[in-house]
Amino acid sequence: MRFKGSKSLVSGLSGCRRLAAVTVVMALAGGAITGLALADVVQSVSQKGREFQPGEITIKRGQSIAIVNDDADLLHHAYLRTTAFSFDSGDQKPGARFEVAFTEAGTFTVRCAIHPKMKLVVTVQ
C-alpha cells in the first residue's frame, strides 16, 4: 500500500526479504479470511421422528447451527436455557428452519419443549 510521498511497505527490502514479507502478509490475510469463513459455516440439525439428527454436534465458538423441522406433520420447539447462553425457537411448523449462533464456549443440551425426550448436545470449542 502506498500513500502520496511514502515508499511501499516492502519496496525498501531486498528481493528475498521482499518475497518473504509478501508471503507473510498474504498468509496473515488468508488466515483472517479463513477465520471469518469458519464463523459463517452453518451446520444443519434435523428434527425428525421425535429426535435431533445428529444427536451430538461440535462447533467452533461463533458458528451457527440451523435447526430444521423435517417432520411432515409434527411441530417442534427447540430451546436452551442456561446462565451462559439461551435461545428459544418458538413453535416450528414442518419445514421451518431456526438458525442460532453459539457465542459462548461450553457443552449445551438443546431440548424440544413439545417432545421432552428429544435432546441435542452441542459442544462449542
Q: Give the single-character DSSP code of 108.
A: E
All 3 cell numbers of residue 46? 434435523
Domain boundaries, the chain: 1-40, 42-124
Look up the CATH superfamily of 42-124: Cupredoxins -  blue copper proteins (2.60.40.420)
pLDDT tens digits, 110-121: 999 999 999 999
CB count within 10 Å of CB 116 equals: 9
CB-side neighbour CA atoms (13 Å) of 68: 13
Q: Average pLDDT over the chain, rounded to whole?
A: 83
C-beta separation of 68 from 96 below 8 A: yes
Claim: this prediction has a pTM higher than 0.85: no
pLDDT, mean of residues 92-107: 96
Q: What mean pLDDT is predicted for residues 59-68? A: 97
Three-state SS sequence of 46-88 = EEECCEEECCEEEECCCCEEEEEECCCCCCECEEEECCCCEEE
Please give the Cα distance from 111 to 105 (Å, whole number). Answer: 18
Query: Tell me, what DSSP letter sits at residue 15?
Result: H
Greater confidence, 80 or 18?
80
The Cα 115–Cα 51 span in angstroms is 8
